[in-house]
Each structure stands twice: as structure tokens, then as C-alpha cells.
Structure 1
Amino acid sequence: MPAILIGLLLPLALAFVGRYGLVILYGLYAAGALLWMLSWPLRKKQAGDLLLRIGRTLQSKVLLWLGLFQVGLAIAITLSRLDQFTGSLVTTGGVIAGAVELAFWWSLALLFILLGCSRLEIRENGLCYLFAWQPWERIQAFGWDDDNPNTLILKAYPRTFLSRRYMILSIPADQQQRVDGLLEDYLIEADLDAEMNEAV
């Protein structure tokens, strides 16, 4: 709920700030993303000992390609902003604004690259994926797609009304049986594929 309230109030606050509102938004995002990435080792410790590290999923591969695209975009934006750092018309405000904007685009590229390189891990206290961990207590059940046997479906207790109830992950075929065996130790298996189809 606090995140939603902040999201609603942020545009109003930026409107009052004026021309540097977008720069402030860039700076807040870049700082938040960097802190989130740097804090991952500490947050990961809460998930307990590693039981199984799963190969890269389809989702992580897509994120890696998006990250490479973001790197290209960040390079292009960096080159287009060079006039803010060199030449006779350079101002302190222009340098700060340019540096903050570039920090935003490069932190975004780094975030996508790191997310793309991350792997799904089954740990003692929950699942780790994409720089976040989900405790077993927050997962209601797991199941497999009827048409794609190596597609894992997780049903979670939503944190807010905006949270996703189902998470779908592609598991490498050679690890599917081992993943199934480990998840059975912690979760209830259910026909979530049929449940999702009925919900639609």
C-alpha cells in the first residue's frame, strides 16, 4: 500500500519541483536500483542453504537480450549527451543533470544484464529468482503445464491486489524431475494449469 501511495503522489511532487523533476526521478531510480542489487547477497542469506541451482530459464534469457539492448541504448544516449560535458556552453546544472540521466540508463542496463544472468535456485527456506526470494510460506502450491511438461506453475499468496497470483517458469527438461522431487518436500502439488484456464 505505501508503494501505491508513493506512486500516486510522485507525479504531483515532481510537478512542484519544476524542470529538475525528471532528473530527481532518474536519480531516485538509479540509487534504488543500485541499492537493491548491492543488497542482494544479504537478502539471499535469509533463503538458507542452496539445494539446487537450475539452469537459465527462458525468462532470464529474454531479460539478458533486453539488457544487451539497454546497453546499446545507454551507449547511444551517452554519445548524444557529450555536449553537456564538453564545450563552451557547459554549466554545472547541465553536468549534474547529464550525469544523473546517464546513471539512470546505465543502472537500467546493468539491472537487466544481472537479472538475465541470474538463475532460479531452490533453497532451504524458499525460491530465489531475479534478485528476490519467495519463502515457502508465501507459495500455496505448484504444478506443471499439461501441454509443456517442463513449464513450472507456482501459485502464491498475493502481497497486494496488484501482485501476480501465478508465476510461470520454464525449467530445463533434464532438471524437471529433480525440481519436482524437491518441491514436493515443501509444497502441495495441484493441477494449476486447469485452475488457470478456469480463471480465464
Structure 2
Amino acid sequence: MIYALGQPAALAGLVAALALGLGIRHVAGALVAHGLGRATAVTVLPHWRRDIDPIGLLAAVFGGTGWGAAPPVGGLPRKRAVWTALTGPAATLTAGVAVLAVYGWVYPASITGAVYRPSDVLRGVPGPAPEQLLFTAGVGLLCFAVVALVPLPPTDGWTLLWGERGGTVGEVLSNRRVGALILLTALVLPIGGVPPLHRVLDLVLTPVVESLT
């Protein structure tokens, strides 16, 4: 986000994407974890102290997108834990697709999606403010969803792969925050001019963005 300071509307879009991503991911995951019949406002509604991962927030500031706290799968059966971890990113991805579909419908003549890659969007792209805001928010949601599936703790992708298991390696990656620091480095540190995770986002999401805009 820090690189988008010169584009206020794009910055607002990145902030909105992070806030919506955290909220949508938590609500969707919590509903599956607790079940519709037992879910309460306390367990389902987002809460910043519970849902934000500090290193994930730092990644968003310097890398344009980040991740949330580990999904609420403690004590759940393996099958429900998997669905909980999968539902959050899936709901966020769906929201991003919906926002970009609206963008493509409202601004059918825009070529922004064909010109800029997701990694460019995370640094702040120019354009008319309403277009910047909507386009950036949509791409930001897609990026948040993909990062959530990278198999390193505390992401949903790690839970999908290992659940509450993982052995000694899992304990080191989780308890010592090694996994989160690896993610931060991959989102922030340029290698060959572009951070590695930005390259992954470009590879995975560029066709999606181009098809919707």
C-alpha cells in the first residue's frame, strides 16, 4: 500500500480489499466451522484483534496484499476443518470476481485490466478515481484469496494441507512465525525486480482479470 500513496483512490481500493477480505474470509469460515445452527454473532462477526495477523498486515502495507489470522479450526474434525479453510478464500475470490464483473459492466470501454498486471495494481495504478477504486478493490480481493491458499502457516492453505498436524516442521513454521516471515519476504523483497509472490499472482490471476474487464 505504501507504493500507492501517490494514487489515493487506488490506495483506498487496496485498503478496502484488505478489510473486505479479512471480513468475508472470517464470516464464511466461521459459519462453516460452527454450523448455521450454532453460530453466534460473537463467533461469526469480524473482530480486528482476532482476525488480523500482524505480519500479514505488515505485508499489506509494503506488498499491497496480506493475510489474516489462522482459520478457526481448533478441535474440528478433519473434514470440517478442510471446508472451513477452503470456504474463506473461496468466498473472498468470489467477491473479487463479482467486483471486477461489476467494473467490466460499468466501464466496458476500459482497457485497464489488459494493460496492468495484478502486481502493478498492488503498487497503485493511475486512472479516473471511481475506476481506480473499483478495479483495485476487485484485484486486491483476488490477490488476498490466492495468498490465503499459499501452504505456509498461518494461511488457510497450510490448514488445507496439514490441518492441525505438521510435526516439528509445522511447529517451527507456526510458533516461531517462520512461515509468516517467509510469506512477508516473498511479497516484499524484489528478486529480479519483482517479489516472487507477485510473480505468482500475475501468473494465476492475469487471465482472470483480463476475462472480467
Larger relative strand fraction = 1
Larger relative helix fraction = 2
Provide TM-score, normalisation by structure 1: 0.35
Bigger relative contact order (CA 8 A; separation at least 6): 2
